Amino acid sequence: MEIPVLSPEMITVFAILGMVIGLLVFDLLRVDVVGLLVMTSLPLTGILTGSEAVAGLGSNAVVVLICVMVLGAALNKTGIVGKIAQHIVKLAGKSQTKIVSLLGISAAIPSGIMSNVGTVALMLPAALKISRQSGIAASKIVMPMGFCANMGGNLSLVGSTPLIILNDVMADWWVSNSPFGGEEFVPLGLFFITPIGIALVLGTLTYFLVIGQRLLPLRKGKDEGGTVSAALRELYGEEVGKGTECVIPADFKTQSLGELNLRANFKGSALAVCRADGTDKVLAPLNTTMLHPGDIIVLACCETSLQNIVDKLGWQARESYETFLSDFGPELSGVVEALISSRSAFNGHTLKELQLRKLFNLNPLAVMRGATIYIKELSDLVLKPGDAILMQGKWDNFRNLQDKTDLIYTEDLRGEEVRSSKAGVALFALSTFLVLALGTDLSLSIAGLVTLLIIVIGNVLHIDEVYQSVEWKTIFLVAGLIPLGVAFEKTGAADYLAMNIMAQMDGLTTILLYLILALLTSFFAMFVSNVGTTVLLVPLAMNMAMEIGADPKIAGMVVAVASINTFILPTHQVNALIMQPGGYKTSDYMRVGSGLMLLFLVILMGMLHFFY
């Protein structure tokens, strides 16, 4: 093979590549600005035409990325993702090890039959909900989930685009080269690489459970609720406390909440009640609500009051929500402080008269007047302008109250409307995407656009919500890196780099050839699309395998598998997708991903040695 001569155009492309690496590694510019910089620098230097430089904005990869983001938002909006999150939290509790394991497996398995990016887009909202419900920082669970989804793409030959096109690329090479005396090409089977995929998923989970968790950053976003937000806890101290789920003992005498009078006797408030068998849930219970032995009750009170209730009434406090997990998640409910204006309908009335529990399903917790906090004397306190009412309930109920009164909330309402009635439409959209993507010859972008239309026409999301659900930073980063890959191929820089490395391979063993191919592929895939990398390097890999007597099909497979080994930079679509929600920086990918890339190579070489 003749090595091309290094040209000025190649030097320019390598210089732009170096600039991109430097800007990303040292976080000198936002990732979307880096993408825009690439799109403008390539035509300004004459490497690409203007249309070639912006072609990434309309590429199949970018359109698919937009569509799967919208699909994920639709599943989240209809409550489907929330149910997945609830099941994982119920199984794992607050154990970070269990959560990482369950999320990783839940992402890896579907990645074996659908797009890695699509899987991550669907699982990402669930991961963020789990983070809020468990109190574990999103930065500790999002990256393991994303990387496991990437590894899961190797569970079958339809798990990622490079593997889908692998047989076609190898067949074209086979026809041109007629190896083994013209022997007919036999495509790789659907599950030919499954052992490698299983080993990679298990290795990734082990890496994060043993080493990776220590390397991941601890970055928590703004306090997103719970029973009382951080700002309100600071203002009200521990007077109100947190919501605690308690079990009423078997020897408890049946009586009403009014008879028990928790507020006067224990400075506490009942937020919800449920029968022992999980039926008859009552949120914002009234004084007439009866309590029976074995019932579950949620209390809002300080630690001292809770201990008094446990000691005197024998109620058993749980460490976390179990019965009311789906009702008290921060995405559904929380605590709000409302100020009473001179025009408010609340002015001059008592909370007993206003009947917030009965009319709005909201639990009044306290009233602050000046520096004084009223809890025991709440019911008969006449409200005045300037008073602040602390209330607990579902976000939708707070919106309903705001529409009908002149109350002023001191914090933005954090929850979003859950359109559970549209869950069937969202699931139909997901099914349509999978059927079109796996069962037809349509491109993934067309399958995604059909899905998007179903979501909009089915009123799952308004078109404005569709635009809001797209992470545009990620889109511009990916759209900017696509023309960089085109420039590598157009100028011959890719051939120059690959052939220079291949020229040093005389006398190498088969396994060392595979290692060099994997390293070369990993490098290219960080800056060129994994599809472009596969198309470019598979023929070269098969040629080199023939020269040293190795199996050319295995060499081609190594390239397709290694095209996902790009964990040290946020340039791969999955890495870019999880960057913003996880709060990651490029340095985080380098710190965590370097070890995983090394482990990837070790596992891949080991599996090739023993099984292939």
Structure tokens at 230: 């951080």
In a domain, 300, yes or no: yes
pLDDT in tens, 184-212: 888 888 789 999 999 999 999 999 999 98
One domain, residues 313 and 340: no
For residues 247-262, one letter each, b for 16 or more C-beta atoms within 10 angstroms of the residue's C-beta and e for the rest, the string is: bbeeebeeeebeebeb
Is residue 497, in this structure, part of any structural domain at all? no
Q: Are residues 312 and 256 in the same domain?
A: yes
Q: Are residues 311 and 372 both part of a single domain?
A: no
Domain boundary among 363, 388, 409: 409
Give residue 293's pLDDT: 92
Q: CB–CB of 329/79 below 8 Å?
A: no
User: In this structure, are 341 and 268 located in the same domain?
Assistant: no
Whether residues 349 and 308 fall in one domain: no
Q: Please count the other Cβ atoms lying within 10 Å of the Cβ belonging to residue 23.
A: 18
Angle at 265 between CA 259 and CA 266, to 5 degrees: 120
**Residue 228 pLDDT > 60:** no
Tell me the β-bridge partners of 339. Answer: 388, 408
The verdict on 309 and 353 lying in the same domain is no
In a domain, 325, yes or no: no
Which of 24-28, 263-267, 601-605 has the highest average model confidence (pLDDT)? 601-605
In-domain check, residue 247: yes
CATH number of the domain encompassing residue 365:
3.30.70.1450
Q: Is residue 274 part of a domain?
A: yes
Tell me which of 374, 390, 409 is where a domain ends.
Answer: 409
Count: domains in the chain: 2
Q: What is the domain range of residue 340?
A: 336-409
Residue 226, φ and ψ in degrees, nearest 5: 90, -165
Same domain, 303 and 341: no
Residues 288 and 347 in one domain: no
Whether 296 has a pLDDT exceeding 90, the answer reads yes
Q: Is the domain of 265 the same as that of 307?
A: yes
Q: Which two tokens stand for residue 187?
A: 């495509």
Whether residue 263 is found in the same domain as residue 306: yes
Are residue 251 and residue 297 in the same domain, yes or no?
A: yes
Residue 346 lies in a domain: yes
Domain boundary at 317, 348, 381, which?
317
pLDDT at 277 over 80: no
Q: Indicate whether 523 belongs to any domain.
A: no
Tens-digit pLDDT profile for residues 303-350: 888 899 999 999 999 877 878 877 776 667 888 888 888 778 888 889
Residue 375 lies in a domain: yes
Burial-class residue 21 by CB neighbours within 10 Å (0-12, 13-18, 19+).
middle
pLDDT at 82 exceeding the cut of 70: no
Q: Which two tokens stand for residue 454?
A: 């179903």
281 and 359 share one domain: no
Cα angle vertex 389, ends 386, 391, to 5°?
160
